[in-house]
Every structure is written in C-alpha cells, then in structure tokens.
Structure 1
C-alpha cells in the first residue's frame, strides 16, 4: 500500500465512517462477491435492505480524496441483495457513484429508491405468484471509464410468466461531478432530427441486406407498414452512452423500435454526422 493510500486509511479510521476502507477496496476488485447477502425471509431482506441503503454513506472527504487516486473506480456497488429458492430469485445490485456534488448525491439517492422499488415489486409478485417462477436481476455495466467521462448502464431483467429487459444509461463527468445529458451535448434541438434520420437510414439498410434477420418498425412502403407504429424520431432525452471511442451511442429498449426478438437495439452515431451541432466538449470526438 503506497503512502497516499496509507494516509487516506489513517484519516478514514479517525473519521469513524460507516464502511471499512479495506472492504471498499475489496468491493472495487470483487464487487459482486464482497457485497452479497443471503436471506430466507422476504421480510428480513426488505428490512435489512432499507437499513443498509440508508446507512451506506461514504465520508465526503474520503470520497473526494479517493476519486483523485489513479486506479480507484469512480463507481462502486452500494449493496447486492440476493434471494434464491426453487421458484423465486432476486439479484439486485444498487450502484453508488463516488462524489459529493448535489447532482451526484441526488443521482445516488435515485438509484437507492429504484433499488427499493424493484425489490418491493419482486416481493409483491412472489406473493401473488407463490407457486410460479418469479425473478428479478438488476446490475450495472461500465461502458466507458476515463478521467473526464464515466458511462455505465443499469440493466433489469424481470421474469414473471414472460421475460422483459430494460437498460438505462448514465453518463457523468467525474472531474466536474456533473451528469451529462443528451441535450447538454448540443447547441440546440436540431440533433433530434439529424440523429433520427441517420438511425432510420441505418434501419432500412440493415433490413435490405440479403438473408437478414433484422426487423425494425420503420416505414418501407410495404403493406405490412400498417401493422405497427413506425419509428419517426428519437426522444429529446433518448437513452444513450458514450463509448470508448468517444462516439455517441443511441439505445432503444426491447419493443421500442422493433419486435421483441430484436431485444435492446443500439446505434453508434459517427461524429461527422453530428459534429456541426455539438457544443465544444471533450466527450464526443
């Protein structure tokens, strides 16, 4: 352990914060295994989850210092809760972003609230479908991690009779401790039509390929166009992330722009397509 880490550990112990530094470091390396709990009772899980989610708060000084150390991830899992029996299975990981700004604090509070709601709904479903299969899995995937950019997705797979999958992306600037939204990247609303036209063109190209299995709900001039509500444009705050190449990636959930078999659909937007619409930034290149 280098001197910087030793100093932080010493400062941390003096502050008497609620989480041991050693546990946090281990959690960064083995996120799922270090914070997994097993319980038999739904009631005990809910009670303990509420206790942990309200008590897992990192000291502001420690969090700020840790974020400056090379090698420390700016995101850690606050808690993973697992319930697994023959019929009902829940595996929910709530992410916690390191930061002390109002935006980051509010973001973490939002994640905690969503985690509670997911488990609450699972418990209700398990009670109603007590003799059937019920499952919920939620976790996060880091897409890009750079000095000035963190993009990660939170996926949720909900199984009650059938299966549904959603993915929600979040992008932040760890240095400025601020959330990056889609509108914040552009000069004005012109990006909505520009990106939409590009995506529609790509959909048609993919569907026109020989032996393709791609199907999108986009107008092609064929009779079957009347069978679905066609994609026309993205939302102002469409789900997105920024990949390792610093390219914008637009994401659509299952059933959003095509049949369920298409699953979650993503389109990487070449920067040359939107370059003249971008505000000066270091995120999209």
Structure 2
C-alpha cells in the first residue's frame, strides 16, 4: 500500500464527532454539580480544549493534504526499542531450551537494524544447533556405558536479553545465553548503538585512544577496594596489577551514561564469583 493510499485510508476512517460539544458540555455540568463551586474556573478551559479538538478533527476531514502531513509526523517520545520478536521453548531427550529472541526497531537506520537482527538470530541458531549436538553426545556416552535414557541429565539452555539503557541518542542491550549442565555458564553479547550515526559504539568513541589505560586504572582501583572490604574475594591479578591487552573488551552503557566493562564467569575471578562488572569513570 502506497503512502498516499495509507493516508487516504486514515483520512476516510475519521468521523466528524457532531455530538462532541454536547457530550463535553453535559459532562462538565455534571461534574460541576458533583463538585459544586471549586472548579468553576476550569470550565472555560475544558470548552477551549474540546473546541480545539473539534477544529483539528474537522481539518482532518476537510483537508486530505493536511491529513497526509499529520500521518508523516513521528509520534512524540518514540525512540528506538528492543522488543521480543519471538518466544518459544522445546525439549527432547537430554535437552531443553527456552528462548526470547530480541530484535531492534525505530533506530532510523534500516540497514543497521537488519544486520543486528540477523546477527542475533544467527547466533541463536548456532547455540541451538550446538546444544542439540552436545545433548546427543552426552546421551550416547550414557548409553555406551550401559545406562538408559532415564539416566540422562538434562542439558538446559536459556536465551534472553536485557536493556541496559535506551535514550534518544544511545541504545545499549545484552543478549544472554546460559547453559546449565554440571555447572551454569552465561555468555553475553553486547550491542551499543549510536542512534545519531547508526554505528556501533566503541570504547575509543567514549573513553578515547588511551581507553586501555583508563580501564586498567579504574579496574585496579575497584579490585583493591573490593578485596580490602571483602578479604574472601579473589581475582586473577598479581600484586603488580594487570594490563588490559584485549581489543574487544565486552561492555555496555548504563542508565547513567557510563561504560561498564563485563568479564565472563571465570575470566578475571574464580567461577563461583560469577560475572564481574566494573563501571568506568573517565
């Protein structure tokens, strides 16, 4: 359907509310009877609002060109969003999966949306495929050792997402993949989008060319403070400290607009400590 046809359909579907004035008047009068005098000053304001509403709708009905222009006006307050595109679950012998597939829209950058949505779906498809293969391998091992299907331990996969921040300028969210068998591990993929340029944000964009030094300094200060307050905390850091050497650090942007570096379970601290996050101040 063309833009003109859509506009025409909207235009033709609007009915002139001939009884609106009577309805508003009777409603106001009834309210004033109930409330007595305190709100008398408000009556002219309501009449004015109702009249403006009637004028606007009247113009829509008498001017198709005006209706077409209104159709093009973006909804106030609308911003890019992450939504659940599809949700499903299924299970088989030794294997179960629960999935919430996220997708993005409203960024104003169609190609960006298409690329990221396809990338997310491709990763989910790969996770499902690998989970099925691992479940089959586990099943075969149990059967080869003389066990039965009743002896199988379920391999469970959970896929969902979380929005970290959403403004008119930045959209930041994470896709979580959790695998549970003997232990539980969560793998995260972060997306940080500059809605003005339509590009994914890098640490250089926010923290500058020397971002590795900035991140290292911040993390070392936080680790020192945490270990002083919690002696049971242990990190894979020597007394001399450590140096960020990776180019692809995982991060998101929180609601305060700050970068948060995220390390997988077991990456920078013993696995029982789980995922480790460090908010960076520049």
1:127-149 CA distance string (max 9 Å, x none): 22232210101110011111111
CA deviation digits over 1:162-202, x for unaligned, max 9?
221122221112344322122232442x1111211221122
The match for 1:215 is 234
Q: Identify, as 1 or 2, the structure richer in helix.
A: 2
Cα distance in 2 for partners of 1:185, 1:72 equals 22
d(CA) in 2 for partners of 1:87, 1:123 = 9
TM-score, structure 2 length as denominator? 0.63
Deviations 1:56-85 (A, max 9, x none): xxxxxxxxx898653566212222231146
In structure 2, C-alpha distance between the alignment counterparts of 1:139 and 1:66, rounded to whole Å? 33
Q: Deviations over 1:88-144 (max 9, x none)?
A: 320122221114443332222111110100111111122222322101011100111
Map 1:200-211 to 2 at 5 A.
200-209=220-229, 211=230
1:248 aligns to what?
259
Which structure has the bigger radius of gyration?
2
Query: Relative to structure 1, is the Cα distance of residues 66 and 103 closer, same or farther in structure 2, using a 3 angstrom cutoff?
Result: farther
Counterpart-to-counterpart distance in 2, 1:197 and 1:218 = 13
Aligned position for 1:232: 243
Q: Distance in 2 between matches of 1:119 and 1:104?
A: 23
1:83 to 82, 90, 96: 90
Is 1:262 aligned with 2:273? Answer: yes
Structure 1 segments (4+ residues) deviating >4 Å: 65-69
Alignment equivalent of 2:203, drawn from 154, 179, 182:
182
Equivalent residues, number? 201
Q: Which segments of 5 or more consecutive residues in structure 1 lack a partner in the other structure?
A: 1-6, 12-64, 222-229, 275-285
